[in-house]
Amino acid sequence: MPTTMKEDYYQILGIERTASEVEIKSAFRRQAMKYHPDRNPGNKEAEEQFKKVNEAFSVLSDPQKKQMYDQYGHEGLNGAGGFGGFNANGFGDINDIFGSMFGDIFGGGFNRRGGKPRAQRGEDLKLDVTLTLEEAFAGKEIPVEYTRLDNCSACDGSGAAPGSARKTCRSCGGTGTVTYSQGFFSMRQVCPDCGGRGTVVEKPCSSCRGSGTKRVKENITVKVPSGVRTGVTLRVSNGGDIGTNGGGFGDLYVEVHVKDHKIFRREGDDLVLDAQITYPQAVLGGSIKVPTIEGKEIEVEIPKGTQFGEVLKMQGNGMPKLGKKGFGDLLINVKIEVPKKPTARQKELLEELAKETGGKKSFFKELFG
């Protein structure tokens, strides 16, 4: 009797073989939500696909099993501990398999062994702020306005109208979960009637419609340290959304972006500045004045014989070192200025210089006409 070839696990989840751990988990979430029995009641095809999705994820999310599968396919799994279907080794019982897989997908805020709903921390939020290079040098306190989920002030987060209270959910008995059984499988899921809270509202709060939470405006001041650079992310503890079942707030993450400067280029803690000097200054030496990021001017000595492209370092005139003492350097990239329209006297002197240095007279004629 011919053997039916099993489907490729990567194809079941709709991912490439090079998919990362995060991509595998994300694909599993999508497929599990799509084919979950609660969303497809009585649909046998969805039920079978749901089982395949779980089996594929159980293999590809386990580094050891994934390696065996990548090398030897389904036969490798059968010869390495057996995974011809679900293998519950290491999970305790079959309920734990689904609890560990679906805890963060279908609500997650519950104890798989029953009991009271588990507190779940709120979602983290992210904002972006943009600074000038001068502001990044000095550091700045930036006022930020954003919205986040918080307890409804009208009902103090209960979701119940004033004068009423939440009551124990009859469907789950206050555990926040219900057990779903289908043939061989038994899964514990978030109670659809109370949403995992274990309690229900008979008279919903008119302000939040019984949810217990509302989007509110927050005005805070974010302290950006001196020396900050693009990509640095600052954490504001408890600045995110409110959690469930007393889980507390998530955090707010503020990512910093520093604008390009019209004069300075940043290289780590150093600042780079292009400065033009004349040919006589390059040969004979001298001094020039250059700006700093602080808005001051400093005098820079030009050594005799300075070459085009040479870099002069002004120590300690760069950016503050983030989280450390001290400053980077100001690096002056020397460029020698060549006059486009020299005067007659300049031409005469350059011709004399060419003779003295053994240069070709024709070179200067071609250069200056």
Q: What is the pLDDT of residues 50-65, one digit of tens each?
A: 889 888 998 898 888 8
Please choose, from the candidates 43, 11, 39, 40, the residue with its C-alpha nearest in 3D space to the C-alpha of residue 27.
11
What is the C-alpha separation between 61 and 35, in angstroms, rounded? 19
Confidence of residue 264 (pLDDT cuts 50, 70, 90): very high
Average pLDDT of the residues in 130-141: 96
Is pLDDT above 60 for 362? no
Sorted by sequence, the CB contacts under 8 Å of residue 181 that are 6+ apart come out as 187
**Residue 206 φ then ψ, to 5°:** -70, -25
Q: What is the pLDDT of residues 183-221, one digit of tens each?
A: 556 677 778 888 778 888 889 999 998 888 999 999 999
Confidence of residue 299 (pLDDT cuts 50, 70, 90): very high
What is the C-alpha separation between 285 and 280, in angstroms, rounded? 7
What is the C-alpha separation between 195 and 183, in angstroms, rounded? 25
CA Rg, the chain, in Å?
34
Mean pLDDT for all residues in the chain: 82
